[in-house]
Amino acid sequence: MFDCIIVGAGPAGGTVAYHLAKKGRSVLVLEKEILPRYKPCGGGVSPIVAEWFDFDFSPAISLKVKTMRYTWNMGDVVEADLETPEPLWMVRRDLFDHFLIQQAQKQGAQLQDNTAVTGIEFKADVWQVNTANGSVMGRYLIAADGAKGSMAKWLGFKDRKRRIAGALEAEALMEVATPGTLHLELGLVKNGYLWNFPKADGYSIGIGTFQGAGNQNLRAIAREYSHLFGVDFDALHQHGHPICAWEGNQILHTQNALLVGEAACVVDPLTAEGIRPAMFSGLKASEAIDAALSGDINALGHYSQVMAEEWGAEMQWALRLAKLFYRLPKVGYRVGVHQPAATRRIGQIFSGQIGYRDVARTAIQRLSQGLFSQ
């Protein structure tokens, strides 16, 4: 009998496991893959996550970037410094996720990887989690199995608001020309962007659409963009995957169970940032489960409330910006990206110095004025 069983060993699950184990709770993490495992992801991480832990993340960081380089239709280049106290981290998810789980194991958490969950049952106030390797029991259950996982459905969350975005990406192992620069292309794809996130030994190149892809050929667009960096996109192993972005506040708790990470649809709907919100949800979930184990009967409901107030309120502004920006990307590029303060504001948002609400009204006003001035 465990105090908590966590299904999924990504950043959200690893965060819950670390903090609960550190508080002396018995924790089991179930992961269907063998760790470390490849996970398609650009791999950008806000350094603010370091404030939520008491260990050094350096071994899990591939490199750090401090410069953003934007293009529109592969031209009209804008390059600017993020000007953050700590540069943005670039990580490989196989190493980053495994490193976080290893820190949880050092605190006493147990891991069973290569263990697929086949079903769950609530019996006599405890959860029975059935796996291909047998059943385990836990007082509380965390669904951290991502955008394609089954846990949310099994827990009865059938009518959640989900903004499903799509991404296609590939990893290119090669010498990196500008290791301190993150590249974004905003003109080639409708309702999204292309990215090139550098790593110590290569690039993560991808394309994502966040308001609907329409009739676009994403693979052909990514192929064209990759040529800028001397990369043959067609020669790489490509990974397509959904993204569950925030679409509005919703209940994230049920009987002795919580949703975290992409299972909770916490991805930023403007930038598609997912690792920081996943870890934030894991942090808040760990606090709720610890309180529930100590006898607080309202702890799980409080988790849904905290996520709405401390994350959802910001994402409401991000969603408003996303709807306007992706509808008017050329205007946004001209009146937003070209502004010297734009990248500085992005860096401040990523580093937690300010929130979307602090910049949204000004940004919306500029976009609106830019539209009327065309």
271-296 confidence digits (pLDDT tens): 999 999 999 999 999 999 999 999 99
On whether both 258 and 294 belong to a single domain, the answer is yes
Same domain, 254 and 366: no
State residue 372's pLDDT score: 46
Range of the domain at 203: 163-244
pLDDT in tens, 216-234: 899 999 999 999 999 999 9
> Among 63-67, 261-265, 319-323, 368-372, where is mean pLDDT lowest?
368-372
Q: Tell me: do 257 and 203 sit in the same domain.
A: no
Q: Which residues contact 325 (CB under 8 A, 6 or more apart)?
A: 270, 332, 336, 367
Q: Is residue 29, in this structure, part of any structural domain at all?
A: yes
Q: Would you say residue 91 has pLDDT above 90?
A: yes
Rounded distance between C-alpha atoms, residue 289 and residue 94, angstroms: 27
Do 274 and 178 sit in the same domain of this protein? Answer: no
Query: Is 128 in contact with 52 (CB distance < 8 Å)?
Result: no
142 and 53 in a common domain: yes
Of residues 345, 332, 367, the one with CA closest to residue 81: 345
In a domain, 137, yes or no: yes
Per-residue pLDDT at 252 exceeds 80? yes
Whole-angstrom distance, CA of residue 56 vs CA of residue 23 = 19
Q: Give the pLDDT confidence score for residue 328 in this predicted structure.
A: 85
pLDDT single digits (tens) 324-365: 888 889 988 988 899 888 899 999 998 888 999 888 878 777
- Both 24 and 168 in one domain: the answer is no
Check whether residue 122 and residue 260 sit in a common domain.
yes
pLDDT digits (tens, 9 = 90+) for 97-150: 999 999 999 999 999 999 999 999 999 999 999 998 999 999 999 999 999 999
- 83 in any annotated domain: no
Burial degree of 282 (CB within 10 A; 0-12, 13-18, 19+): buried
Taking the model in full, what pTM does it have? 0.94
Give the percent of the chain with pLDDT over 70.
95
Asked whether residue 33 is assigned to any structural domain, the reply reads: yes
Tell me: pLDDT of 151 over 80: yes
Instruction: Please tell me the distance from the alpha carbon of residue 335 to that of residue 76, in angstroms, as a whole number.
Output: 13
138 shares its domain with 258 = yes
Please tell me whether residues 47 and 27 are part of one structural domain: yes
Interval 248-262 mean pLDDT: 95
Domain boundary among 194, 229, 244: 244
pLDDT at 263 over 50: yes
Whole-number pLDDT of residue 212: 66
Of 298, 315, 332, the residue at which a domain comes to its end is 315
- Residue 99 has which token pair? 């490193």
On whether residue 85 sits in a domain, the answer given is: no
Residue 196 has pLDDT above 90, yes or no: yes
User: In this structure, are 210 and 150 located in the same domain?
Assistant: no
Q: Is residue 45 part of a domain?
A: yes
Q: In what order do the strands lie in the sheet with 63-65?
A: 44-45, 88-90, 63-65
Looking up residue 212, the CATH number of its domain turns out to be 3.30.9.10
Residues 157, 167, single domain; the answer is no
Q: What is the tens place of the pLDDT at every residue in 26-66?
A: 999 999 999 999 988 899 999 999 999 999 999 999 999 99
Question: Do both 275 and 288 map to the same domain?
Answer: yes
With a cut of 60, say whether residue 371 has pLDDT above it. Answer: no
CA distance 156 to 205: 36
Q: Which residue has the higher pLDDT, 7 or 243?
A: 7
The reply to whether 308 falls in a domain is: yes
What six digits make up the tokens of 194?
A: 């292309």
